[in-house]
Structure formats: C-alpha cells, structure tokens
Amino acid sequence: MKTLLLLLLVSYVYAGCGKSIPKSYKSGQTVELSFSAGNGQPQRTYSVHVPANFNSSAPTPVVFSFHGHGSSPEKEEAISGLSGDNLRLAGSKFLAVYPQGLKGTDGKSSWMGAPYSDRKIDDVQFVTKMIRSLSDDLCVDASRIYATGKSNGGGFTNYLACTPGISEKFAAFSTVSAALYQPSAFGPGGKCPLNRPVPLIDFHGTADHVIPYSGKNKNGEVLPNIDSFRSAWAKRNGCQGNGVTSGLPKSQDPTHKASLISWSQCNGNAEVQGWKLEGGQHAWPRTKLSPSCKQQGDNDCDITVLFATDFILPFFSKFTAK
C-alpha cells in the first residue's frame, strides 16, 4: 500500500513530464496565459518563459517573480532578467513565471500584503492554481519552486513565506526592495505564523525613498527597519548568533557599497541573507541598465555594484522543498 501511494504521489507531482508541450507555450519564448480563478474570483493572467530546447521529460525548476505596485509582468521580466538564455538554477534551465496583479483600492496593480490591495482578491489561491496548472502542463520539479518579487511583489513574496499551506510549496524566497507593511505582509494575522524554517535572501538600498531602509509609517501601517526584518527571520528560523557580515571582493566593490549579513546555522539547514546597498535606490539592484532604461536615473534605472539575480539563483540552488 505504501509503495502504491508513493507511485501515485510521484505521478501527480510530475504530471506534466513526458507529455508534449501544449501549444499555448513556446520554447524559448515568453507567452501570456490566463484562466478563470473560480470561487468568485476574477479572470487571472500570467506570463511564462519556457527556456529554449525545453526537455519535457526532465523535471524543471520554477521561479515566480512578482512585480511591484502599479507595475507589470513585462517590466518585472525586464528588471529581473530571469528569462536570460544562459541562466541556470541548480545546474538546470528553469521556467520563469511573471504573474499579473489586479487593481487595488487606488486603481493600480497590487498584491496581497499591502494596505492598498483589494481585500476581495485572493492572490494565494491564484498562486496555488498557477502551480497546479504549470505542473499539469509541463515537467515541473515540485521540490524546486521558488518565489521572488520587487516592492509590493516582494511584500507578497514575504506574505507567501508567512502563510502555512502555500509556504511549504516553495523551497526558498527572495525579497527585493520589499514593501513589508506590518501587519499586512506577514501572513494571516500579521504574525508570520510558521513552524518551518524558511530560506530567504533580501536586497535593500539605503537611499530607497519609497520603502525606506530605516522604516516608517506609510499608508496607515508600519514599514519595518530592514535590519530588524532580517533579524526577525533569523530568529524565526532558529538561527544561531548575530549573523556574519561580509562583502564583495575589493576589485568588484572598491568603495564598499555592498555589505552582506548572513545566518547559516539555522533549523532545517535554512539560511537568511541580507544585502545592504549604500546609496541604493528603490530598485532591483543591477550593474547595467535594464532594456527599458535609456539612461541612468532613479529607481530601476539606478546602477550599483551587483546584480541581484546573480545572487538569488545560487541561493535558491541550495534548497529544495521538503
């Protein structure tokens, strides 16, 4: 009986493996998909980048990347660079998924985890259904599903990490210039009610005037101090010590703009990492302008000493869902 149950579980987890790629997906391209969310929820859309020469028989990792407040999947794809042909996660190409948020109370696209989101919209249900749909259609490695996001998308990533039931579907999380409204962005009840260790890597600039590094009151809620946010995750994960501070090689960062605090002695072999970028703005940290930028300027057209994606993918590669 135990063997039969295991076989049934494996056949479900890898339901899309060995099948031809549905025509709605295009190998080497990003396509927009949609479905009816059901249960009184509106139609939802999301974009999926399938890597070139996709192997429909090899379990493939998935990275969800959630856009910021008022932004879009197209911009998230551009600033994150997660659709790059040469990228690898645990030595493998991966599926990059860019969901579309719905209008919040201010008329701009948003996600759960912010006071301006539409409380009638269940984005957790949306994510759950996307995972199921992708797993049915494509050869998804259910042990290697990850989430990242910028600003409100980073706050929603934190909301997913703090929500039992959906958190367990992800192996690790990354938050970038995250809008971490308390209590909204910390799961049901606002207290991050988890018993499992959660690997997390965070990036935040000290010159972020939208979501200040030092925290503030905004939109009727509290944005935490980023150092305190990271320490809270370390405590939640049972990490030992006060964290180890390091940085980049002098050749890459001669003026010491980037510093890393990390906790590695944590329950369940989880880790917590936080990159502090001196002078960094409200951006996805990068060393080159994104394709949408004509010249250097504010926020996502800001340039610093590291590209966040180059650190997110190696971090994700360390972890699998239990």
Annotated domain spans of the chain: 26-317
C-alpha to C-alpha distances, 39 to 43, 126, 173, nearest whole angstrom: 11, 11, 28
Which among 154, 166, 152, 171 has a CA at the least distance from the CA of 62? Answer: 171
pLDDT category of residue 13 using cuts at 50, 70 and 90 = low
C-alpha to C-alpha distances, 2 to 14, 91, 314, 317, 321, nearest whole angstrom: 18, 32, 35, 30, 21
pLDDT at position 98 over 60? yes
pLDDT category of residue 312 using cuts at 50, 70 and 90 = very high
pLDDT category of residue 12 using cuts at 50, 70 and 90 = very low
Distance CA 47, CA 321 (A): 24
The confidence score (pLDDT) of residue 8 equals 40
- Chain centre distance of CA 261: 19
Fold topology of 26-317: Rossmann fold (3.40.50)
Do 249 and 140 contact (CB within 8 A), yes or no? no
What does the DSSP assignment read for 130-197? HHHHHHHHS-EEEEEEEEEEETHHHHHHHHHHTSTTTGGG-SEEEEES----BTTTSSGGGS----S-
In the chain, what's the furthest Cα-to-Cα distance? 63
| Helical packing angle, 123-137 and 152-161, nearest 10° | 80
Q: What is the mean pLDDT of the chain?
A: 94
Give, for 219, the enclosing helix (H) or strand (E): none
pLDDT tens sequence across 58-75: 999 999 999 999 999 999
5-14, 147-156, 254-263: least confident range: 5-14
What is the average pLDDT across 239-249?
95
pLDDT tens sequence across 166-213: 999 999 999 999 999 999 999 999 999 988 999 999 999 999 999 999
